[in-house]
Structure 1
């Protein structure tokens, strides 16, 4: 009986965590040969522990040095994150703190959530940190931050404290450190001349009936988040009509959906996989693609990080989290991952021109806030209906 109850709990939590496995629409992994950072970040004020007197040092400096020394004695930090290009970020951390080894495992958020919850059910606490969107019991990151520059409001778009508001899902204490501007759709301009579609509202024109393809949104996926963003931007009625009236075609295989868009069978794409699409563009399958999106994006697909409840290496976890949320850590994150924008005001923007920066964002909602989370069941039911449309 306990086993069934636990399995039910896992299923519910897995559904609540944001799946970015297919990377449709947000694509955490860039195209091949993009693993190296685009630019070396300037050194920040993230200090390693240093020997010497505590005289004339501020309280935070003393606490930081003690924490780093304790972290080196622990010797390692265990981190789960998305599969591609995060290893480069881990290597940069090890350069700054050579006494702390990062044990990194790449997996999607559903896998992270399932694995951690199963281990904790057996009283095994083996993971220190999740980088992106795992729905697991967490320590409060606010209690772990030592470095003043991390807590400085001016160093974050919409302020430091907003990062906790943007991550107020089932588990409190996580922090939204990066994002993608939503909503948008892709237009294949080999098939539709640029400018013919002027706004997202134009998608309801009868001429586009049967010409729109989307990824699967019958579960918590990035395509579902894209349509949820449309619901909060243009109204739920708009999305209902888009799916049913326009006979939206959906595919469970994100590679196939992207291919059908690239070859022009469906010239309008929602939840198209960025990684696959960049490859098709490089190969010349499609020559010109544009994004149709609001003048300023009101919705953020947020990416949250967490220190897992009862971390096995608490000091190393604290050191990594402070570094990761610093200017240096976020600069490396953007340079390696490329597809996301950091919330830090002093981190670089994505090297990809089609990734919208903060000057074109007017944040109103974030994917892990109360109202968007509550609307997910409706979007999932709509996704199930979409799979039945022929």
Structure 2
């Protein structure tokens, strides 16, 4: 028969065999495999985004963390340490960390330092791509030419020059990005042209509505365009009414920085376009581009915009509610504050409201357009 002491120690051993696995320190190899994972599938700028770290078999009181030096534009908001149970009923510590990001793009936070039972460990943040906040993104119209690449942008004028021969058939597809629904879609036939819509896609009909954020573009329509006379042409007048992720209705047009130069000769080094019908080509007559026409189409000068900005004063309500306005001097308006993303060029002279800033960029709004532009393109009203 077992003595009382034997029974006592036997019971204690049995109890420890159940209790110890609840909070026994995992092996170093197992800990090194643990990462801080994004709690949501997509991270956005200007919003709180959460990383989560789960350490099994360790109680919260034995874990201390120390944040690393954060990258530029990344701001720590708050943290939470709590106990959790996994699917097998084993206990552990869950650490949640919330951050905000000012800039979109690939983001990687340096490793998190943690002390577990006095032992120092480093946990890696899973690399994450941060998308621009949908509430701040304006819908973007894109154009893709069949059989040829998009022309490079001229550094001085900011224009993309497309060279054609009179009568050549140019086929292009119009798409839209960062819009949840199309409300209306219409176009006009350009002068001195044969212009037809060869295909209209489902999204352009307005029945389809996007319910989740996506960076993919939606095709609107495919066009065929033949210019019959020599000269300089802007892209055809195509109007798209769409709803942005913020719920606002936007009226959009084709990019204004693409210019088509039509001549009697086929440009060297450009392939993929159909040959012009000789009868059409012979019927075409010369219509050279006049400098006077260019001056009439240009925007008001920056000096005039500066004078306009000085003539407007901020009101008492503007100062009280910290509302900021400026005069737009002309330039590109982009959907995101990044130089790699193509924008649309607009003429200057409008009074615009500044709603957001990001280093050398400002988000501006007016009746004609809204989006990000470089600070050099605006003269702030003081």
TM range (shorter): under 0.3
- Higher-helix-fraction structure: 1
- Higher-strand-fraction structure: 2
> Normalising to structure 2: TM-score of the pair?
0.20
> Normalising to structure 1: TM-score of the pair?
0.19
